[in-house]
Amino acid sequence: MISRKQCFTSFLGLMGRDLRVMRRELMPFLLRVGMQPLLFLFVFTTVLPRVSGGNPMGGGNFGQILLPGLMAVAIMFTGIASVALPLSTEFGITREIDDRVMGPIPVWLVGVEKLVFSALQCIVAAALVIPMAYYIPARPVVPDLTRWPLLLLVLLLASFLSSSIGLVIGSKVNPKQIGLVFSIVLVPITFLGSVYYPWAQLDSMRALQYAVLINPIVYMCEGLRAAITPAVPSMPWWISVPALAASLYLIGRWGIQSFVKRVIS
């Protein structure tokens, strides 16, 4: 019988191991999570407003619209990559995952540790976008942090949700097909996830407006807009937050079950 103290100690040990690995790879991690939002902000909010003819997206409050979307993309990309990619190695021929589950800890708790560590990376990735949005655009984007409890809640739900999606992908998909899944999954959910436009502005295309509601990144973007850019029209937080929580429960449970089944199979 495994005691709670043994479980807790083993959990901290796994976290410590992952933190040590991340410390050695800190610069690649920062480059991976920061390059995309940096380039998007530079091109759409600095270059395009200054070139001849400009661009409708480059002026006005596009920076306010783009900031929550880029934070959501950073969370989604980091959450999936930080779980699914390591699992593709650990479930490979060498079965490195067996080293983790041999400790005095339930298999499902190993999956939870992966979600917690990935969620921490997601929060760091989202936080990196905020100073970029202030210093890079021609017109600095200043987030409204007065609603910090809502911001913190959305960040936690979104981070664990994206990590859960990564756990599902890493547990269900053949390691050789992980790269293909990234192309199939990330591109559509990004462009149809209200990243570059508020969900409310789709009211002229009702069918599309309701169809994209199956996309979890929509609720991430809209929840972040309600939290840090209240001047931009957004989905009410009392819709986006429960939707994130429900998605986290369903996908998180699916991810843990898939992980346990994959480990013991």
Q: What is the DSSP string of 218-262?
A: HHHHHHHHHHH-TTS----HHHHHHHHHHHHHHHHHHHHHHHHHH
The reported pLDDT for the residue numbered 58 is: 44
The reported pLDDT for the residue numbered 43 is: 78
| pLDDT above 80 for 85 | yes
The reported pLDDT for the residue numbered 25 is: 82
| pLDDT above 60 for 57 | no
Name the band, by pLDDT with cuts 50, 70 and 90, for residue 54.
low
| pLDDT above 60 for 154 | yes
The reported pLDDT for the residue numbered 63 is: 83
What is the C-alpha to C-alpha distance for residues 69 and 90, in angstroms, rounded to an integer?
32
Phi and psi angles of residue 173, each rounded to the nearest 5 degrees, phi first: -95, 140
| pLDDT above 60 for 36 | yes
Other C-beta atoms closer than 10 Å to the C-beta of 97 total 19
Percentage of the chain lying above the pLDDT 90 cut:
47
Q: Could you tell me which residue, 133 or 39, shows the higher pLDDT?
A: 133
**Would you say 115 and 252 are in contact if contact means Cβ atoms under 8 Å apart?**
yes
- Average the pLDDT over 176-183 and give the result: 78
- Tracing tokens 């191991």 back to the chain, one arrives at 17
| pLDDT above 50 for 80 | yes
| pLDDT above 90 for 252 | yes
Other C-beta atoms closer than 10 Å to the C-beta of 68 total 30
**Of the candidates 170, 191, 48, 173, the residue with the CA atom closest to the CA atom of residue 111:** 170
- Average the pLDDT over 224-238 and give the result: 93
Name the band, by pLDDT with cuts 50, 70 and 90, for residue 24.
confident
Residue 264: how many CA atoms within 13 Å on its side-chain side? 10
Q: Which amino acid does the sequence have at 21?
A: V
Mean pLDDT of the chain: 87
Q: Could you tell me which residue, 150 or 65, shows the higher pLDDT?
A: 150
| pLDDT above 70 for 7 | yes
**Of the candidates 157, 149, 129, 141, the residue with the CA atom closest to the CA atom of residue 217:** 157
| pLDDT above 60 for 203 | yes
What is the C-alpha to C-alpha distance for residues 261 and 258, in angstroms, rounded to an integer?
5
| pLDDT above 90 for 32 | no
User: Torsion angle of alpha carbons 47, 53, 56, 58, nearest 10°?
Assistant: 10
